[in-house]
Amino acid sequence: MKIHNAFFSDSINRVNALSPKPAFTLVLGDVVDNQGEVAHFEAMHAYLKQIETPVLYAIGNHETRYRATFTPGYRMEEFDNFFRAQKAMNGMEWLLYSFDLGDWHFIVWPDPLRSNFFETHPHYFDWLEQDLERNKEKPTLFFQHVPAQPIGIDPLINYAESVAVKRMVLDTLARHGNVRYIFSGHVHIPIRASLKTARQYKGMRLINLPAAGYRARGFGEEEVNGGPSQGILVVEINGKDCRVFFKTVTEEVYPYPENLPSFDEREYPLWLKYKWELDAFPDVKNGDFSAGLDSWNTRYVYREDETPSNRMEVRDFQGYRALYLFSSKRRYHIPGQDRLPQSINHLCQALQVGREPFLIQLDYCLDKESTGQTDAWAGGFVWLEGFQGSVKLLNLAYWVGRGYGQLSDRFSDSSDVPLLHYQLPAPDEYWRSAHLNWMQDYKGLGMDLSGLDRLVINLGTWHINDGNSPGFGFYLTKLKRLSGSGPSVAGGNGIQPMPDEALWRMNKYEPFVHIAGEHRYIRSTQSIHP
């Protein structure tokens, strides 16, 4: 507790010092920090019972076993430890509940982030629709552990609810016009980043909260107050009006504005759409980037105010109009949990796939001013994903520099469709042209690709976000579809499989440990078996 939640007792003191006394205190998921063990709930209860208000629990992704799965039938055994802890704290045994207080309505929504949870609990959405309809005249606050808006760092792009669930929740909440705020946790976000990522969507304000005690993630910027990020969110209600502010353990107060930047779905095309739902074109549109980023679908990437660690720009370079992609280690680096490789800096476009074979042509070159050593754990990629309807059948990446062996989209990836890796030679001149026979390069696996109807082209950079390696930048342009076949080549040379030693991977059989507030994989001297 002293390492991971150094400021938790201070946050409890801030709650107890509020005047007038709050009507209740809600812990917005992740009551504990492992897999919902009884002893951990009991340890947290010893702290939380010091709060001088009723204490409510929402469930997050640490209150159950990591490998908990849900099958048809209303089987709730995986939540037994959470239910016992909740009952000991407040007498309830609920995952999903709502209540009224004064003129306001409050909804607490479950977000355990476990396999098949919502698929086996579809009635929760019916309950939500009916609850909102019954209370449509009341201003409403909605609490969920996992954010409804993109935050813009890895691993949170994949460590969220599926597109279908996010879309269904937001559509349901917006339908009746009574939801004023959606509050979320999960991210351990600093205050500065919380303020920068807060959005407004169809009249609802979406705010991701800093933690009460747990160490904030490293977002690459000094904290807004130069001090700790931890504290409490206070919702101050007066009739049908409310004011929302964050109060730190050192008593600084940061109000959230009434008017927040708009969450425009066109600005975040990959948050509420699957890649296989994107519009597909017969040829690459704007492959020379003469129209900026038009026709390309971008991810939301958190951008530091100074010296951003990820860049995606269209530039004039060496006589070309080109896309420039760059990733580096975050400049303002503090111990935290943003330690996993950053591979979020990519954009994509979907092509229609017919019966006739075709290649992908592109020109690329290194940004030699910023890239420096080419053997650093960083690189650029052309990542191709092939779909038949919503089913992913093809998955391969072509790398410049070093590769990240676990590029993924967990909402469409399948263990039956492996990711293959190929090496694009680093240009020994400024520019090199490549022709990618993606179909031929993947057919060696013996996969049946005859039903493919869509190919998604992803262009991006990645960086290990650790150590002292420099950034990696490269340019791409002149992407087009070429009819015909032939081997994959770059600069007249054949493209070879990526050497395994040039791929950085996390070994999933190595133990996952917590060091001073950081989630990290470490190498073990003992034999670890699956």
End-to-end CA distance of the chain, in Å?
Answer: 30
Are 493 and 348 within one domain?
yes
| Rounded Cα–Cα distance for residues 2 and 241 (Å) | 38
Using an 8 Å Cβ cutoff, are 471 and 378 in contact?
A: yes
pLDDT of 285-303, one tens digit each?
A: 999 999 999 999 999 999 9
12, 6, 30: which is closest to 516 by C-alpha?
A: 6
Q: How confident is the model at residue 517 (pLDDT cuts 50, 70, 90)?
A: very low
Over residues 419-425, mean pLDDT: 95
Are 207 and 315 within one domain?
no
Residues 6+ apart with CB under 8 A from 148: 166, 169, 170, 182, 184, 201, 206
Using an 8 Å Cβ cutoff, are 387 and 454 in contact?
A: yes
Position 242 in a domain:
no
Are 219 and 285 within one domain?
no
pLDDT of 110-169, one tens digit each?
A: 999 998 999 999 999 999 999 999 999 999 999 999 999 999 998 888 889 999 999 999
Element (H, E) at 454: strand 454-463
Q: How confident is the model at residue 284 (pLDDT cuts 50, 70, 90)?
A: very high
Element (H, E) at 86: helix 80-90
**Domain containing residue 48: CATH number:** 3.60.21.10
Note the pLDDT of residue 203: 95
Are 389 and 478 within one domain?
yes
For residue 217 the two structure tokens come to 């993630």
Q: How confident is the model at residue 335 (pLDDT cuts 50, 70, 90)?
A: low
Q: What is the CB-side half-sphere exposure of residue 285 using CA atoms within 13 A?
A: 16
pTM of the model: 0.93
Are 210 and 85 within one domain?
yes
pLDDT of 428-450, one tens digit each?
A: 668 999 999 999 999 878 888 99
The residues that bridge with 496 in the sheet, in sequence order, are 423
Q: Which amino acid is at 268?
A: Y
**Domain containing residue 445: CATH number:** 2.60.120.260
For 232, list phi and psi in degrees, rounded to 5.
-135, 145
Are 196 and 305 within one domain?
no
Domain hosting 369: range is: 280-513
Position 260 in a domain:
no
Are 110 and 12 within one domain?
yes
- Rounded to the nearest integer, the mean pLDDT of the chain is 91
Are 386 and 500 within one domain?
yes
For residue 325 the two structure tokens come to 């992609």
**206, 228, 250 — which closes off a domain?**
228
pLDDT of 50-61, one tens digit each?
A: 999 999 999 999
Please give the tally of structural domains in the chain: 2
pLDDT of 456-511, one tens digit each?
A: 999 999 999 887 778 999 999 999 999 999 999 998 899 999 999 999 987 543 44
**204, 228, 252 — which closes off a domain?**
228
pLDDT of 232-280, one tens digit each?
A: 999 999 999 999 999 999 999 999 999 999 998 888 899 999 999 999 9
Instruction: Give, in degrees to the nearest 5, the angle at Cα 320 between 319 and 321.
Output: 130
Q: Are strands 55-58 and 25-28 parallel, antiparallel or unpaired?
A: parallel
Q: How confident is the model at residue 522 (pLDDT cuts 50, 70, 90)?
A: very low
Is 526's pLDDT higher than 60? Answer: no
**198, 228, 258 — which closes off a domain?**
228
| Rounded Cα–Cα distance for residues 199 and 310 (Å) | 21
Position 257 in a domain:
no
| Rounded Cα–Cα distance for residues 186 and 208 (Å) | 8
Are 189 and 302 within one domain?
no
Are 223 and 290 within one domain?
no
Position 433 in a domain:
yes
Q: Where are the beta strands (DSSP E) in 367-419?
A: 378-388, 391-401, 403-404
Are 209 and 135 within one domain?
yes
Position 461 in a domain:
yes
Position 234 in a domain:
no
Q: C-alpha distances in angstroms, 35 versus 65, 170, 254?
A: 5, 28, 33
pLDDT of 83-96, one tens digit each?
A: 999 999 999 999 99
Note the pLDDT of residue 527: 32
Among 41-45, 128-132, 375-379, the least confident range: 375-379
Residues 6+ apart with CB under 8 A from 330: 218, 219, 220, 304, 309, 338, 465
Note the pLDDT of residue 217: 87
pLDDT greater at residue 319 or residue 521: 319
pLDDT of 196-238, one tens digit each?
A: 999 999 999 999 999 999 888 889 999 998 889 999 999 999 9
1, 336, 332, 65: which is closest to 188 by C-alpha?
A: 336
Note the pLDDT of residue 19: 96
Is 528's pLDDT higher than 50? Answer: no
Position 419 in a domain:
yes
Is 524's pLDDT higher than 60? Answer: no
Over residues 19-39, mean pLDDT: 95
Note the pLDDT of residue 446: 81
Ordered DSSP codes for 292-361: TTTT-EE------SSS-SEEEEEEEETTEEEEEEEE---SS--SSSTTS-B---EEEEEEE--SS-EEEE
Position 262 in a domain:
no
Note the pLDDT of residue 529: 32
| Rounded Cα–Cα distance for residues 129 and 127 (Å) | 6
Note the pLDDT of residue 33: 87
Are 320 and 222 within one domain?
no
Note the pLDDT of residue 175: 96
